[in-house]
Structure 1
Amino acid sequence: MKVLRVVLAVLVIFLSAFSFITGYLGVLPYALLLVGVMLFVMGMIETKEKRIENAFTSFLSAAFCIVVSLYIIVR
Protein backbone atom coordinates (compact mmCIF):
# COMPACT_ATOMS: atom_id res chain seq x y z
CA MET A 1 0.00 0.00 0.00
CA LYS A 2 2.77 2.42 0.85
CA VAL A 3 4.49 1.71 -2.46
CA LEU A 4 1.22 2.44 -4.28
CA ARG A 5 0.99 5.76 -2.44
CA VAL A 6 4.48 6.73 -3.57
CA VAL A 7 3.80 5.69 -7.18
CA LEU A 8 0.60 7.74 -7.24
CA ALA A 9 2.41 10.74 -5.75
CA VAL A 10 5.11 10.53 -8.44
CA LEU A 11 2.45 10.34 -11.16
CA VAL A 12 0.66 13.38 -9.76
CA ILE A 13 3.90 15.34 -9.62
CA PHE A 14 4.75 14.30 -13.18
CA LEU A 15 1.34 15.31 -14.57
CA SER A 16 1.37 18.60 -12.68
CA ALA A 17 4.90 19.44 -13.83
CA PHE A 18 3.98 18.54 -17.40
CA SER A 19 0.98 20.84 -17.24
CA PHE A 20 3.02 23.63 -15.69
CA ILE A 21 5.86 23.42 -18.20
CA THR A 22 3.77 23.04 -21.34
CA GLY A 23 0.79 25.16 -20.31
CA TYR A 24 -1.60 22.38 -21.37
CA LEU A 25 -4.35 22.22 -18.76
CA GLY A 26 -6.10 19.15 -20.16
CA VAL A 27 -4.26 16.74 -17.86
CA LEU A 28 -5.16 18.46 -14.59
CA PRO A 29 -8.49 16.64 -14.08
CA TYR A 30 -6.60 13.35 -14.36
CA ALA A 31 -4.03 14.59 -11.85
CA LEU A 32 -6.89 15.48 -9.50
CA LEU A 33 -8.36 12.00 -9.99
CA LEU A 34 -5.01 10.49 -9.06
CA VAL A 35 -4.88 12.72 -5.97
CA GLY A 36 -8.28 11.34 -4.98
CA VAL A 37 -7.09 7.77 -5.43
CA MET A 38 -3.95 8.57 -3.46
CA LEU A 39 -6.02 10.02 -0.61
CA PHE A 40 -8.17 6.89 -0.65
CA VAL A 41 -5.06 4.72 -0.33
CA MET A 42 -3.83 6.95 2.49
CA GLY A 43 -7.17 6.46 4.22
CA MET A 44 -6.77 2.70 3.93
CA ILE A 45 -3.30 2.93 5.47
CA GLU A 46 -4.60 5.10 8.31
CA THR A 47 -7.41 2.62 8.93
CA LYS A 48 -4.90 -0.21 9.25
CA GLU A 49 -2.91 1.86 11.74
CA LYS A 50 -6.07 2.54 13.81
CA ARG A 51 -6.09 6.31 13.26
CA ILE A 52 -9.77 6.63 12.49
CA GLU A 53 -9.99 10.45 12.54
CA ASN A 54 -7.24 10.79 9.94
CA ALA A 55 -8.75 7.98 7.86
CA PHE A 56 -12.17 9.67 7.87
CA THR A 57 -10.62 12.95 6.71
CA SER A 58 -8.70 11.18 3.96
CA PHE A 59 -11.79 9.33 2.74
CA LEU A 60 -13.85 12.52 2.75
CA SER A 61 -11.18 14.42 0.82
CA ALA A 62 -10.78 11.52 -1.60
CA ALA A 63 -14.50 11.44 -2.31
CA PHE A 64 -14.55 15.18 -2.98
CA CYS A 65 -11.53 15.03 -5.32
CA ILE A 66 -12.89 12.05 -7.24
CA VAL A 67 -16.36 13.56 -7.68
CA VAL A 68 -14.99 16.91 -8.83
CA SER A 69 -12.50 15.36 -11.25
CA LEU A 70 -15.11 13.05 -12.76
CA TYR A 71 -17.48 16.00 -13.14
CA ILE A 72 -14.78 17.94 -14.99
CA ILE A 73 -13.82 14.97 -17.18
CA VAL A 74 -17.43 14.13 -18.16
CA ARG A 75 -18.46 17.73 -18.70
Structure 2
Amino acid sequence: MDVFYCLIHTPEAITPELCVLPGGTELDAMRGLTEVARDWPRLERIDLYRGNCEVRSFVPSDLATLRFPRALAA
Protein backbone atom coordinates (compact mmCIF):
# COMPACT_ATOMS: atom_id res chain seq x y z
CA MET A 1 0.00 0.00 0.00
CA ASP A 2 1.38 3.39 -0.98
CA VAL A 3 1.36 6.26 1.47
CA PHE A 4 0.04 9.66 0.49
CA TYR A 5 2.00 12.68 1.65
CA CYS A 6 2.45 16.29 0.70
CA LEU A 7 5.29 18.79 0.55
CA ILE A 8 4.33 22.25 1.75
CA HIS A 9 6.18 25.17 0.18
CA THR A 10 6.19 28.56 1.92
CA PRO A 11 8.13 31.76 1.10
CA GLU A 12 10.21 31.68 4.28
CA ALA A 13 11.26 28.01 4.15
CA ILE A 14 14.35 26.87 2.28
CA THR A 15 13.10 23.29 2.21
CA PRO A 16 9.44 22.25 2.13
CA GLU A 17 7.66 20.74 5.12
CA LEU A 18 6.59 17.11 4.84
CA CYS A 19 3.18 15.92 6.00
CA VAL A 20 1.92 12.33 5.79
CA LEU A 21 -1.77 12.23 4.94
CA PRO A 22 -4.36 9.85 6.42
CA GLY A 23 -6.36 7.43 4.33
CA GLY A 24 -5.70 4.94 1.60
CA THR A 25 -7.43 6.51 -1.38
CA GLU A 26 -6.73 9.60 -3.43
CA LEU A 27 -10.02 11.13 -2.27
CA ASP A 28 -8.98 10.65 1.38
CA ALA A 29 -5.60 12.19 0.58
CA MET A 30 -7.24 15.21 -1.06
CA ARG A 31 -9.42 15.76 1.99
CA GLY A 32 -6.35 15.57 4.21
CA LEU A 33 -4.41 17.90 1.93
CA THR A 34 -7.11 20.58 2.12
CA GLU A 35 -7.12 20.26 5.93
CA VAL A 36 -3.33 20.65 6.04
CA ALA A 37 -3.41 23.63 3.67
CA ARG A 38 -5.74 25.52 6.04
CA ASP A 39 -2.98 25.48 8.67
CA TRP A 40 -0.48 27.22 6.38
CA PRO A 41 -1.66 30.79 5.68
CA ARG A 42 1.49 31.69 3.70
CA LEU A 43 1.28 28.63 1.47
CA GLU A 44 2.86 29.07 -1.97
CA ARG A 45 2.37 25.54 -3.27
CA ILE A 46 1.57 22.08 -1.97
CA ASP A 47 2.64 18.94 -3.82
CA LEU A 48 0.70 15.69 -3.39
CA TYR A 49 2.59 12.40 -3.68
CA ARG A 50 1.55 8.78 -3.66
CA GLY A 51 4.58 6.75 -2.72
CA ASN A 52 7.42 8.08 -4.87
CA CYS A 53 5.16 9.49 -7.59
CA GLU A 54 3.90 13.05 -7.69
CA VAL A 55 0.13 13.15 -8.18
CA ARG A 56 -0.32 16.91 -8.58
CA SER A 57 0.81 20.33 -7.39
CA PHE A 58 -1.69 22.84 -6.03
CA VAL A 59 -1.54 26.58 -5.43
CA PRO A 60 -3.91 28.15 -2.87
CA SER A 61 -6.43 29.19 -5.53
CA ASP A 62 -6.71 25.54 -6.69
CA LEU A 63 -7.61 24.43 -3.17
CA ALA A 64 -10.27 27.12 -2.76
CA THR A 65 -12.19 25.74 -5.73
CA LEU A 66 -11.98 22.03 -4.86
CA ARG A 67 -15.37 20.40 -4.48
CA PHE A 68 -15.88 16.80 -3.51
CA PRO A 69 -18.87 15.07 -5.08
CA ARG A 70 -21.48 14.36 -2.43
CA ALA A 71 -21.56 10.66 -3.26
CA LEU A 72 -17.79 10.38 -2.83
CA ALA A 73 -17.61 12.60 0.24
CA ALA A 74 -19.97 10.40 2.28
**Higher relative strand content:** 2
Structures share a fold, TM > 0.5? no
Computing the radius of gyration over CA atoms, which structure comes out larger, 1 or 2? 1
What's the TM-score once normalised by structure 1's chain length? 0.36
Which has more helix, going by share of residues?
1
Q: TM-score when scaled to structure 2?
A: 0.36
